[in-house]
Amino acid sequence: MVENTEAEYLIAKANLDAFNNRIGFLSIEAPFSGIITKRFVDKGAMIQSGLNQSNPQALFELQEINPIRLSIPVPGSDAVGIQKGMEVEVTLPELSGKSLMAKVSRISNALDPISKTMRVEIDLENPDGKILSGMYTKVLIQINSRENILSLPMIAKVSHKNEAYILAVVEGKVKRLPIKIGLSNQDYFEVLNDEITSETQVIVQGKGLVKPQQIVEPIVKQE
C-alpha cells in the first residue's frame, strides 16, 4: 500500500512538473532587448511546440536597435585596407543628412564569390531609436591618405579607351597631357606626373568645346 502511494505521488509530481514547465512557455523571453517588428501569429491562435517539429513556426521578429548594426559591402580592391576599429563616417540621408562617427566592428575577411565584395559590420549607437532598420546609409571609410599632394577635380579627367588624360593650356594652346592617377575618391584624384604642377592651367569646364593645338585664352576660376 505504501509503495503504491509513493508511486502515485511520484507520477503526480512528474505530471505537475510537466504542467508547470508548459505554463512557463506562456511567457516568451528573448536573450536581448529589442522591438518586435513583425508578428506571425494572431492572439488566440493554436501554436504547436517547436520541439516536435523540424521547421518550427516563428512567432515574432525581434530586432535590437541600440546599437543598430550596419552591414556594408566593400569592393575587393578596397577590402585589403579595412581593419577592425577603423573610424568611419556614417551619413543618414533619411534623417536630413545627419552624420555620425563610428568604428568598424567586424569584417568577414572573405570576398563574396559572386559580388567580389567583403562584408563589413558597424555597430552604431542609437539611443533615441531614430535610426530604423532598413534605412539606407552612406559610409565613408578613409583607407589611405596623403598630405601635400597635387589633386584635380574628377570632372577634369578625360578617359579614352584605356588612357586617361587632361586638357591643359600650354603657351596659349590646348595640349593633351596623359596622367597617372594615385589615390582617388568620387570628387578628386591624385596626379603623379612630375610634369604636371600646381602652375599647370588645367581645363575643367568646356573640355568638349576645344581640341588639341587650338588657340585659347584661359579664364581663371575665381575662388
* Domain definitions of the chain by residue range: 68-141, 151-209
Strand partners, 166: 177
Q: How many residues would you count in the chain?
A: 223
Q: Which of 194, 217, 202, 196 is nearest to 153 (CA)?
A: 202
The pLDDT assigned to 75 comes to 87
Q: What is the pLDDT of residue 50?
A: 63
CA distances from 6 to 1, 3, 9, 15, 120 (A): 9, 5, 5, 14, 62
Percent of the chain at pLDDT exceeding 90: 22
* pLDDT (tens digit per residue) in 69-126: 899 898 888 888 888 998 999 998 888 888 889 999 999 999 999 999 999 999 988 8
What's the confidence (pLDDT) of residue 122? 93
Contacts of 58 (CB under 8 A, 6+ apart): 40
**Domain 68-141 bears CATH identifier 2.40.30.170:** yes
pLDDT of residue 3: 61
Q: 3-state class of 95 per DSSP?
A: helix
Residues in the chain predicted with pLDDT less than 70, given as ranges, are 1-4, 49-53, 221-223
pTM attached to this predicted model: 0.54
